[in-house]
Amino acid sequence: MAISTLLLRALKKSPWVFHVGTSGCNNCDIEIADCMTPRFDVERFGVRLVGSPRHADVLLLSGPISRGCRRAVQEAYLQMPAPKVVLLVGTCACSMGIYRDAYSVAGPADQVILEVDRNARLVYVPGCPPKPETIIAGVVKLLEALA
């Protein structure tokens, strides 16, 4: 078995997530935090929010990428060890949503990531905000898609 396949299988067991609130309205961020609390409790599945991109397998972006945080997002992605996945939570992260015409937005989140890594793996979870159940379903799809 190739090393890369093995690493992906290992990642499936307990994906650690680094959450970057890029410039959303807080709503997605709170629903993401909600996933950690007693009713949904994704820690049961080994999913954890971690404090540094260097510890993370999944980069979770919520909100449109504003000019202010575009570089920070790219840096965070580059600091993550491979194999890595990007989870875009919320309509704004997926397609810029209501911010499509805003002067402050640096571009769709997927483009901002693809600029630094052409082969990035992206998973989209649309919704305004997606309910915790939807976010969990997104994570499950992500895990199914890996190896």
Partner 1 sequence: MAHVIRIGPYHPLQEEPASFLLTVEGERVIDIDVQLGYIHKGLERLAEQRTYDMVPLLLERICGICSATHSINFCHAVEDILGLAVPPRARYIRTIVGELERIHSHLLWVGLAGHFIGYETVFMWAWKYREPVLDMYEQLTGHRQNSALPQVGGVRRDLPEQAFPEVRRTLDALDGQVEMLTGAVLDDPVLAARLSGVGVLTAEQALAYGVVGPTARASGLATDVRADEPYAAYPELDWKVITRSEGDVFAKAVVRLLELKESIGLVRQAMEKLPPGPINAGPLHVPRGEGIGRYEAPRGEDVHYVRSNGTNMPERVKVRAPSYVNIPSFRASCIGQTISDVTLTLAACDPCYSCTERMAVVRDAGGGSEITFSDLVRLGREKTLRIARELGRKPDLDLEIG
Token pair belonging to 43 = 């820690």
Minimum Å distance from CB 83 to partner 1? 22
Cα–Cα separations (whole angstroms), residue 33 to 25, 62, 70, 101: 14, 12, 22, 29
Q: Identify the three-state secondary structure at position 84.
A: coil
Q: Applying CB under 8 A, does 114 fall inside the site for partner 1?
A: no
Q: Applying CB under 8 A, does 103 fall inside the site for partner 1?
A: yes
Which of 51, 34, 52 has its CA nearest to residue 43? 34
Minimum Å distance from CB 123 to partner 1? 20
Query: What is the identity of the amino acid at 101?
Result: D
Site map 37..66 versus partner 1, x via CB under 8 A: xxx---------xxxx----------xx-x
Minimum Å distance from CB 1 to partner 1? 34
Cα–Cα separations (whole angstroms), residue 77 to 44, 50, 130, 146: 26, 14, 23, 18
Query: What is the identity of the amino acid at 41?
Result: D
Q: Site for partner 1 (CB under 8 A): which residue of 5, 14, 115, 131?
A: 131
Q: Applying CB under 8 A, does 15 fall inside the site for partner 1?
A: no
Residues that bind partner 1 (CB under 8 A): 19-34, 37-39, 49-52, 63-64, 66-69, 71-72, 76, 98-99, 101-105, 128-129, 131
